[in-house]
C-alpha cells in the first residue's frame, strides 16, 4: 500500500521501520478507503511516523499511552517551525494541522479514543498573564467548557490588538477596549457581544489584581441590553425560498444532497442538528412517514412524508450518497467520508441563500426554520400546533412569532385595519 504513495524505497523502508508501523499501515488503508487524495496521504504519513518517534523518545512503550504525547509533540513542532512567528492565529492553525492526522490514527487503533484527545486550551496572553486560566479553574471554579469560552473571546481580542499593532498589554486603555467592541459588534448579535464583554471584564479585573494594569478599566466595558422577544425571527418570503431551491444544481451528487437538505429544513422547520442526525431507519417508505428522534424538547416527532421531500431524498440515496455501512443519510462529499455535521448543514443553507441573492441577517438553517414557522402563522395555524410541529420546548419559543402576523399587517397597510383589530 505504501508504494502507491511513495516512489523512493528508502522512504518506504523508513516508514516500515517505525515501531508503530502496523498502526500507520492501518491508517494508510483508512485514508485510501475514505477517498483522500494522494497528496494528503503523502503529507500525513511522515507526520504520524514522526509523532511515533517523538513518543518513543519520551518514554512511550505501548499504543495506549500515545494520547498523552499529542500536545507535547504539537508544542515541539510549532516551536521548531515558528521561530520568529508569534501570531496566535498562526499557532492555532498549524497546531490543528498537526493534531488532526494524529487524532485520526489514534481513533483507529485505540479503543475508546474519542477522536479528539486531551486538548490544551490556549491562552493568547500567555507571556504576560500566564496564570489566568489557572485562576479561572482554581479560584472561580470554572469548567473546561467555560475556559474554552474565555479562550475563544480572548483570541478575538488578541487578533484585534495585533491588527492595530498594539503590543504592550500593560498600556491597555479605555479607547483600545472601545475600539475592539466597536469592530467586534459590527456583524454579531447582542448575545455574542454580551459574552465577549463578560470575558473581557473579568480579564481586565484580573490584570489589575495582578498589577499588570495600573487602573481597573473593567467598569468601562458595558454589556449591551438584551430583552427576550426583542428580535423578530429572520424569515424570508416563499418567492425567495423558490429562488434558493432553483439555485441548486440537482444534476450533481452534491446538488442532490443539498436539495434534499434544504427541503427538509424549510418544509418541516427542522434544526440543523436534527437533519444531520437523520438515519435510514428514520425513513418509513411504506407508510410514507419521517421520524425525527431526540428533539430539543426530548421527544420524537412523526411527520407525513411530503412527496417532494421523499423524492428528493430518494434521488440522493440512489445517485448521490456514498456506499457505506453507516446508517446516516447525509454524508460529506470530500474526504474523509463521514456523516455531515450540524455546522455543515447550516452552512449549506447559508451558501444557497447567498447564491440566490437572498438578503437576510445571519443566514443559515434557522432562517429556513423561521420561514417554515412564519408560513404556518400566516395560515392561522394555532401556536400550540406550530410548537408541536417544529419541536419547540415550550410555548414561549413559539410566542415570539405573535409579534409579526405578516398577512394581517399587510391588510392594515391596505386599509382594512378595523376588521383586523376586531
pLDDT at 400 exceeding the cut of 60:
no
Determine, yes or no, domain membership for 105: yes
Cell of 231: 428580535
- pLDDT at residue 397, rounded to an integer: 56
- pLDDT at residue 416, rounded to an integer: 46
- pLDDT at residue 411, rounded to an integer: 47
Determine, yes or no, domain membership for 323: yes
pLDDT at 406 exceeding the cut of 70:
no
My answer on whether 211 and 313 are in the same domain is no
Instruction: Express as a percent the part of the chain with pLDDT over 70.
Output: 86
Determine, yes or no, domain membership for 289: yes
pTM of the model: 0.61
Per DSSP (E only), the strands in 305-342 are: none
- pLDDT at residue 408, rounded to an integer: 46
Cell of 418: 378595523
My answer on whether 242 and 210 are in the same domain is no
What pLDDT, in 10s, does the model give residues 138-167? Answer: 999 988 778 989 999 999 999 999 999 998
CATH number of 363's domain: 1.10.443.10
My answer on whether 81 and 138 are in the same domain is no
My answer on whether 329 and 408 are in the same domain is yes
Cell of 386: 406550530
Determine, yes or no, domain membership for 230: no
Structural domains counted in the chain: 3
The C-alpha atoms of residue 155 and residue 301 are separated, in whole angstroms, by 40
pLDDT at 169 exceeding the cut of 70:
yes
- pLDDT at residue 49, rounded to an integer: 96
CATH number of 187's domain: 1.10.150
My answer on whether 376 and 284 are in the same domain is yes
pLDDT tier at 86, thresholds 50, 70, 90? low
My answer on whether 301 and 336 are in the same domain is yes
Domain that holds residue 49: 2-109
pLDDT tier at 402, thresholds 50, 70, 90? low
My answer on whether 251 and 356 are in the same domain is yes
Catalytic positions are: 271, 296, 366, 369, 392, 401
Q: Choose from 185-189, 313-317, 319-323, 355-359 the range with maximum mean pLDDT.
A: 313-317
Determine, yes or no, domain membership for 136: yes
From the list 246, 140, 153, 239, the residue with the least C-alpha distance to 195 is 153
My answer on whether 266 and 181 are in the same domain is no
The C-alpha atoms of residue 184 and residue 283 are separated, in whole angstroms, by 43
26-35, 220-229, 355-364 — which is least confidently predicted? 220-229
My answer on whether 46 and 150 are in the same domain is no
Among the candidates 220, 252, 273, a domain finishes at 220
Determine, yes or no, domain membership for 422: no
The larger pLDDT score, comparing residue 295 to residue 354, is at: 354
Cell of 115: 477522536
- pLDDT at residue 74, rounded to an integer: 92
The larger pLDDT score, comparing residue 223 to residue 411, is at: 223
My answer on whether 250 and 328 are in the same domain is yes
Among the candidates 220, 253, 273, a domain finishes at 220
My answer on whether 343 and 287 are in the same domain is yes
From the list 142, 132, 172, 148, the residue with the least C-alpha distance to 92 is 148
- pLDDT at residue 285, rounded to an integer: 96
Torsional sign, CA 324, 330, 333, 335: negative
Determine, yes or no, domain membership for 125: no
Average pLDDT in the chain: 86
3-state secondary structure 78-145: HHHHCCCCCCHHHHHHHHHHHHHHHHHHHHHHCCCCCCCCCCCCCCCCCCCCCCHHHHHHHCCCCCHH
pLDDT tier at 198, thresholds 50, 70, 90? very high
pLDDT at 266 exceeding the cut of 90:
yes
Determine, yes or no, domain membership for 120: no
Among the candidates 220, 252, 283, a domain finishes at 220
My answer on whether 252 and 361 are in the same domain is yes
At residue 341, the 3 state secondary structure works out as: coil
- pLDDT at residue 113, rounded to an integer: 82
Amino acid at each position: 500500500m505504501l508504494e502507491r504513495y511513495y516512489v523512493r524505497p528508502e522512504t518506504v523502508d523508513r516508514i516500515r521501520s517505525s515501531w508503530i508501523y502496523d498502526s500507520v499501515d492501518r491508517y494508510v488503508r483508512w485514508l485510501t478507503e475514505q477517498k483522500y487524495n494522494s497528496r494528503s496521504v503523502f503529507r500525513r504519513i511522515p507526520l504520524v511516523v514522526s509523532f511515533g518517534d517523538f513518543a518513543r523518545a519520551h518514554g512511550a512503550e505501548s499504543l495506549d499511552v500515545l494520547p498523552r504525547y499529542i500536545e507535547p509533540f504539537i508544542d515541539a513542532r510549532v516551536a521548531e517551525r515558528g521561530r520568529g512567528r508569534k501570531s496566535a492565529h498562526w499557532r492555532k492553525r498549524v497546531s490543528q494541522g498537526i493534531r488532526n492526522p494524529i487524532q485520526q490514527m489514534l481513533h483507529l487503533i485505540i479503543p475508546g479514543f474519542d477522536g479528539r484527545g486531551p486538548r490544551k486550551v490556549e491562552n493568547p496572553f500567555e507571556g504576560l498573564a500566564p496564570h489566568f486560566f489557572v485562576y479561572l479553574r482554581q479560584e472561580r471554579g470554572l469548567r473546561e467548557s467555560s475556559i474554552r469560552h474565555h479562550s475563544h473571546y480572548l483570541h478575538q481580542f488578541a487578533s484585534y490588538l495585533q491588527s492595530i499593532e498594539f503590543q504592550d498589554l500593560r498600556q491597555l486603555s479605555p479607547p483600545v477596549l472601545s475600539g475592539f467592541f466597536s469592530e467586534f459588534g459590527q456583524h454579531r448579535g447582542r448575545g455574542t457581544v454580551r459574552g465577549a464583554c463578560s470575558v473581557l471584564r473579568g480579564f481586565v479585573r484580573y490584570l489589575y489584581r495582578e498589577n499588570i494594569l495600573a487602573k481597573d478599566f473593567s467598569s468601562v466595558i458595558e454589556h449591551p441590553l438584551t430583552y427576550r422577544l426583542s428580535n423578530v425571527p429572520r424569515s424570508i418570503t416563499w418567492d425567495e425560498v423558490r429562488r434558493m431551491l432553483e439555485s441548486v444544481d440537482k444534476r450533481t451528487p452534491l446538488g442532490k444532497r443539498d436539495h434534499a437538505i434544504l427541503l427538509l429544513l424549510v418544509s418541516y422547520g427542522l434544526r440543523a442538528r436534527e437533519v444531520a442526525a437523520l438515519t435510514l431507519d428514520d425513513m418509513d417508505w411504506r407508510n410514507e412517514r419521517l421520524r425525527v428522534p431526540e428533539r430539543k424538547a426530548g421527544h420524537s416527532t412523526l411527520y407525513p412524508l411530503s412527496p417532494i421531500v421523499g423524492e428528493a431524498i430518494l434521488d440522493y440515496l440512489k445517485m448521490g450518497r456514498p456506499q457505506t455501512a453507516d446508517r446516516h443519510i447525509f454524508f460529506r462529499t470530500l474526504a474523509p467520508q463521514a456523516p455531515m455535521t450540524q455546522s455543515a448543514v447550516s452552512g449549506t443553507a447559508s451558501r444557497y441563500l447567498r447564491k440566490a441573492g437572498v438578503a437576510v441577517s445571519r443566514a443559515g438553517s434557522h432562517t429556513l426554520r423561521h420561514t417554515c414557522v412564519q408560513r404556518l402563522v400566516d395560515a392561522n395555524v394555532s401556536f400550540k400546533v406550530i410548537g408541536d410541529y417544529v419541536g419547540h420546548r415550550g410555548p414561549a419559543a413559539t410566542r415570539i412569532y405573535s409579534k409579526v402576523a405578516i398577512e394581517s399587517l399587510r391588510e392594515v397597510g391596505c386599509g382594512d385595519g378595523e376588521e383586523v383589530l376586531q
